[in-house]
Amino acid sequence: MKKLTLLDGGIGRELKRIGAPFSQPLWSAQALIEAPDFVAQAHQNFIDAGAEIITVNSYACVPFHLGKTLYQEQGATLAAQAAIIAKNVATKANQTIQVAGSLPPPLGSYRPDLFEADQAHDILTTLHEAQDEHVDLWIAETIASIAETTTIAHVLKRTDKPCYYAFTLSDELGEIATLRSGELVSNAIEHLLKEAHLRENIDGIFFNCSIPEVMRQAIIDDEKCFS
């Protein structure tokens, strides 16, 4: 029987559920700024529910949510703070809990049309440097295009920690799974694998923020790429 590892759920949803300060556009970063104890409580709630990996609350530490000025002033500090909070909660747990650093979409979720490689690289590098000291592994979340994949992979070359890539898919069910950019999932994975120096930096492929039916198709396509 294959061993299953339980990850946490969406921290933004959990923060809102437990009454943390929460509004757009700051989203999950608002609690980090105004009431960080809520962030620690959200992590603890996931651990109490059986999670073996908790994810740093850095998803909204980007200009898209913070705004350019607040990001420039506090983006790196907030991401580091989020990583430290997660690490502290994990360290106090009665069981082994791993902390996953989060590299979110740097220029907006589900918006491959807004992606710009140089700007994205700078943002992702900042988030990586802020968190890497405090995390056990990395998850690049909600990747929507091959261009995004390439930039993330180049940033994650800086770490020797396990790296996982989580793609978000078009919710239109078809015979072949596609990213939200319309590009084939199989092409994105092949792009990751084609260069030898990236092969050692891929510990797993995930799918998130997509309906179950398209994720099932993506898993089938994924298995073909790795076979």
DSSP string, 26-71: TTTHHHHHH-HHHHHHHHHHHHHTT-SEEE-S-TT-SHHHH-HHHH
* H runs (alpha helix) in the chain: 11-17, 29-34, 36-48, 63-66, 68-92, 117-131, 146-156, 185-193, 196-199, 212-226
Digit-coded pLDDT (tens) for 105-155: 999 999 999 999 999 999 999 999 999 999 999 999 999 999 999 999 999
Tokens of 219: 């898993």
pTM of the model: 0.92
pLDDT at 66: 97
Lowest mean pLDDT across 5-19, 129-143, 183-197, 199-213: 183-197
Confidence bin at 169 (pLDDT 50/70/90):
very high
pLDDT at 196: 42
Mean pLDDT of the chain: 92
Q: What percent of the chain has pLDDT over 70?
A: 94
- Cis previous bond, 25, omega within 30: yes
Confidence bin at 220 (pLDDT 50/70/90):
confident
Asked whether residue 73 carries a pLDDT value surpassing 60, the answer given is yes
CATH topology of domain 11-226: TIM Barrel (3.20.20)
Find out whether 29 and 38 touch, Cβ atoms under 8 Å: no
Confidence bin at 189 (pLDDT 50/70/90):
confident
Q: Greater confidence, 208 or 223?
A: 208
Asked whether residue 195 carries a pLDDT value surpassing 80, the answer given is no
Asked whether residue 175 carries a pLDDT value surpassing 90, the answer given is no
Asked whether residue 60 carries a pLDDT value surpassing 70, the answer given is yes
